[in-house]
Structure 1
């Protein structure tokens, strides 16, 4: 009886291993969502965010930079919606507008689903590139720093921006860039239900966490730059733009930009065992197989397979590639070339049991394009 019991179990395990390791991804649909100097008062679209909400809709976000492609300057935050897995998309809606007289405007952030209250939380910054402690946005003085807008109907309507420093004085005036990408809500202990959104500060990489469903946020101890004094130079340890995922044992894994090419032209990876409170230095590693030209990449945990996307080139933002790991990020032996030419930031999300989605900057940021990727034929 024991042999009869274990034999089917062995076959099931073997089948699962085979099906994951034999993935054969292919792009089955591409749709350009935004174009440089296209219709409307926008010079360039940048910083793609993509998320699937519980209704199944896909929401795509970008910075609509009004007068130039620079990080600073006036912007809209643009959004488009797909109700059919990325096959068709609604027209662009502008959900934020920092007006016209602002010297430094709004920048994306992270988008996070709070599942207990069915709320969508978009964290963004305001005026973090400007030397003044506040910026004029056309309606009065708004403090520099972190803000959030929320939606209780999955993006059809949005709240006014809330300054996170008003709810936690320790966040007032900080220079911190969330993501860009998506935040997560922990499914497992420790700290089940916690919201986690990671990003880059002046002195290192940090995560914002919320244990009250996104009402208030605080910052963890992070991973500090080395050195902490003086002008940073090539070869210094500076973790940059970052994406966090949760593994099935409750561990948080982050994959970050290696801003000053410390050790290699590759990605930084780190683990947290306490819900994002700390990332111990012994758990900080360098993924030499994930060659990277210092750019924002994306990471997705899809049924315990980790997918990672970036321009797979040590020196230039070209050769957008999808990598995947079947051993919780220990190795990334599998990869698939998406776009061999110019490519920049990207963001991954799930669609269904056999498809994932990617939003990326294409052809030297001429377009922001959506891809529907089939994992197996």
Structure 2
């Protein structure tokens, strides 16, 4: 879920909050599962713990950025967690549990988007976060702090009707976004989860700093149609901005609309994305009132014009063709065919807009359809094969290993080059030779240097390195090594070369993804001088 907020030095912070398991839908779990682990207060990774949904907000007075989110598994019930940064998001303190402060019956999902700090009376300086859903029912609550985020309590509470076991047509306010108006009142746009009466947004008002949300100021805004979704809201200088899909049933046709009368009427707006579109959030910079920023989710309808079922995408590589000023994203997609498909999309305006993905499976050959590895692809700057685009991939439909994918016509057509299979090719076990995620760089002599994940820790818990001297056509066995100085816990790592220096980043551990390091070598050393490299 995207979040966008302004920082104190006129820059933007983009926070993407992933779910490590999606409770509402097995299908969504399949699509969105991402496993992130926090080290909790006892110093040990917890089991059966995951975090979900969060709100970012800023206390300008104290120059503090906060992230409030909900965590499952730390307690028998869900927990509301709070963490903060005092250096514009560069570093963050440990999360602290504020469930007892707000009350366990008000432990809620902080809604996507952002929280606010009140700029006007009443309750000037108050921090306000809007949350939805509770341990034992549905509805929304405003969480309040009057001491710069030290302590928290609940304010206004609007329960669903019925509070338990809502069904279609019931009153169930959900994800919500507040803004403050010039008179100090709050205006909330609220997801109408079970489409109470109409397929449109709810709106609510508070005139006491979030202590109450009077029923007489709760409305259904039929001009803001929605397909059950969180939307963006922003107020500036007499104009209210709204972003969301302009559809009653489908998450598509994302539009920005605006109101000059505090949300009483809305323009037809401007379409941002005409295809599949999801959550969005809006923001302005404090010293730039000429631009409105939007961060949003978007997708495509596949070639048959229908959304696919049982399809998800995984792992991708970005690369740039400087000659043609094109950015490429190559990724793997499952389910479009009986086997995985290799997809390619590109942008010609620095990533602002992107073309539709195209399937290049038939070009590279179905036996070499691979996971483009995390990191970046390269364009060769030197002979041989100057100008060639190269992507390193790992894993195949029928086995394991790595392959280099090559294009000599600026990404129009692709083919496979060097191929290093695992040994055995299928059914690898710990200790077997299995090269995996890989990152290439080009050296001044035109050769390629790859750092490669040693998936099954062949011989040692360290990186593999490989070389190519023909532009990626081959990776000779005599130049495949184990670099014992680069210990690793089976992970993808960063790799970069510049002006005589090679840079490497990765955890400095053989078993755990904990301590991270940044290494560099200030010279290029001949292989026969590196005593810690061992032939595979």
Give the distance between the partners of 1:173 and 1:299, measured in 2 at CA.
Answer: 28
Look up the match of 1:185.
117
Q: For the aligned residues, what is the CA RMSD?
A: 2.9
Deviation per CA, 1:195-240, whole angstroms, max 9, x where unpaired?
00001123311110001110111112311211235x2111111000
Distance 1:205 1:372, change over 3 A: farther
Distance 1:97 1:306, change over 3 A: farther
1:332: Cα distance to partner? 0.9
1:103: Cα distance to partner? 3.1
Matches within 5 A, 1:130-279: 133-134=75-76, 144-166=78-100, 168=101, 170-172=102-104, 174-201=106-133, 202-229=137-164, 231-279=165-213
Look up the match of 2:8.
54
Contact 1:124 1:147 in 2 (8 A): yes
Q: Aligned match of 1:109 in 45, 54, 72? A: 54
Larger radius of gyration: 2
Contact 1:312 1:318 in 2 (8 A): yes
Look up the match of 1:83.
none
Deviation per CA, 1:289-311, whole angstroms, max 9, x where unpaired?
11100011010112221111111
1:51: Cα distance to partner? 0.6
Give the distance between the partners of 1:73 and 1:219, measured in 2 at CA.
Answer: 31
Structure 1, unaligned runs of 5 or more: 1-46, 78-95, 135-142
Q: Does the residue aligned with 1:103 lie in a helix, a strand or coil?
A: coil
Q: Aligned match of 1:362 in 298, 318, 327? A: 298
Q: Aligned match of 2:266 in 323, 326, 332? A: 332
Give the distance between the partners of 2:284 and 2:35, measured in 1 at CA.
Answer: 28
Q: Does the residue aligned with 2:156 lie in a helix, a strand or coil?
A: coil
Distance 1:104 1:52, change over 3 A: same
Matches within 5 A, 1:268-307: 268-307=202-241
Corresponding position: 1:323 with 2:267: no
Q: Aligned match of 1:122 in 67, 72, 79? A: 67
Distance 1:213 1:100, change over 3 A: closer
Contact 1:109 1:125 in 2 (8 A): yes
Give the distance between the partners of 1:97 and 1:348, measured in 2 at CA.
Answer: 31
Contact 2:242 2:257 in 1 (8 A): yes
1:73: Cα distance to partner? 6.2
Give the distance between the partners of 2:12 and 2:36, measured in 1 at CA.
Answer: 20
1:362: Cα distance to partner? 1.1
Q: Does the residue aligned with 2:149 lie in a helix, a strand or coil?
A: coil
Q: Does the residue aligned with 2:99 lie in a helix, a strand or coil?
A: helix
Q: Does the residue aligned with 1:181 lie in a helix, a strand or coil?
A: coil
Contact 2:21 2:32 in 1 (8 A): no
Deviation per CA, 1:106-135, whole angstroms, max 9, x where unpaired?
1231111111111001101101xx6x944x
Look up the match of 2:519.
none
Give the distance between the partners of 1:102 and 1:305, measured in 2 at CA.
Answer: 47
Q: Aligned match of 2:279 in 342, 345, 351? A: 345
Ranked by relative contact order (alpha carbons within 8 Å, sequence separation 6 or more), the top structure is 1
Q: Does the residue aligned with 1:288 lie in a helix, a strand or coil?
A: strand
TM-score, with length taken from structure 2: 0.51
Distance 1:190 1:235, change over 3 A: same
Deviation per CA, 1:169-205, whole angstroms, max 9, x where unpaired?
x534754111111000000000001000001123311
Give the distance between the partners of 2:261 and 2:218, measured in 1 at CA.
Answer: 17
Look up the match of 2:245.
311
